[in-house]
Structure 1
């Protein structure tokens, strides 16, 4: 590839990455002021959960709408200078349900809403969010939340770092470089992941629409990058739960230890979908096997299987996981230390979770991506 083509590729990648990083502040069209950012939520027939944040951001450069590059640079600067609003009151409306929530000391708000009108049998739903205090009629946005259809037979909760992607998702600069500058040449996603997760989403019948939840130790600042990353790599959409701020409570100085955040998130999901069994997917490098085994103890009969990607290359770690696997087996489930994505898919076929043709697609995808 010529130097000019290399240069053109990196310029295009830089511009695309810049546009995505600047995206969270674009809803005000450069006017500045108060702004609500809503993250993808999830719900059931009678309850929903959604997180978001309220900011005050500077307003300048509104006249640059025709100059996309300069507009993105200005919006990125505005994003870096925005400040969270403490104690803001946000009104949330979905059909005939209405509630007001308050932001914490970091500007985050959490919506736990009871629903009197059952969501229709579709996957994604829209809701309206507006600012009550400080009052600003312009500070409105549309949020979305996921509900499983009546065809769903199980759910999936998956870690992201070292499970879906190689180490580095918590590093914004590294992720941006891999995703946009290196593109398909970068080893970002583990081979076969997209095919496996699509198969789990479709289920054994091919049309179940099983819910997928993704948890990450990355900061919320990388949320938009993760959303684009999933789209580019054709990984099924699902709520992305950022664990770093998950355990914060109003008035606390520091969040609780990170290992508690994943437990909190999983417990909340299992409580909301109390009629669904779940598959838990993680890696051997952190505490996923221990956390998932604890979840199984707390929720007997709810965990169909635990898939752990082997990334530690440590005989002592493998022995510890093998001991946990025996405990899980005695409880009537399986904990599998998988060498690759194909091994997970093979077990899923044996358990009747995905069809045989989906396994063949995972194998083809794995081999093709491994050879790149």
Structure 2
């Protein structure tokens, strides 16, 4: 007897989590914060442990109220989910159905095509430009009568490139108002360009824009899974219908609220991550690897056919990265000790290569 299988799932790849690191190695394969939770956040979570026998507030009313006040929007426009990935799924289900098209740049967030296919919609991938950034003209040209939603990951994962505020404004204005533009700002806190905060401003000025934020990266809550979206009222209402009931735990909501109250402390940590990201980029470039300029908490090296070689060099030096074979390597920005390890691995590789060349020259 053969159990039934839903048609189409064979085209959905399982999401690949960043590889774990062996003891003593640096795990730079996932875009996590290298810092442990703030003591105030830990204390707030500990205070709530005695109540985990109760269901959480499914509406996350207290957190949504704080976010609404922060962004000066109606709380009804704010939704929460188990990270920005679950919110992306909510948005797809809220606006797209069987046969509808959902567009995104590629390469971009690896989960987009899978989430779209699971919803029964059709993924439309538009190649990045030569600078590994969104090709906005190509995205507009790819719009069809079936297009329902366009994701703009800004900064983009895994390339770290950004769409500037003015260019993003022109793009949003060029997209018909019956198509939702979702600006996925999971990495916005690391952006040091004029695109910082552009998503919220575009939401205020355009009726067909939604914005995604997460507490996983800059706030260091990746293990608790919580993020939020700000979207037009009708979309936000449908998101809540599509959300998994009780999908965001009380502990996650508590940690998010405590993190919002500790943003001055977190800002110092974010600056450290940015400094190590820029250092990482400089090290790779100096070593001859074509690192792209990044505004996220990672660096993308479009190594192409040399992808496996770079991954191996770093792994031999005790650094675990995220490799997209044949395309490139994404290296998360870790602690100063992590980036020291990257520097040592690159130096050891250069020394080994130099010795090999000298040996061949004497044969």
TM-score band, normalised by shorter chain: 0.3 to 0.5
Q: Which has the higher contact order (CA 8 A, sep 6+)?
A: 2
| TM-score, length of structure 2 as denominator length | 0.33
Larger helix fraction of residues? 2
| TM-score, length of structure 1 as denominator length | 0.33
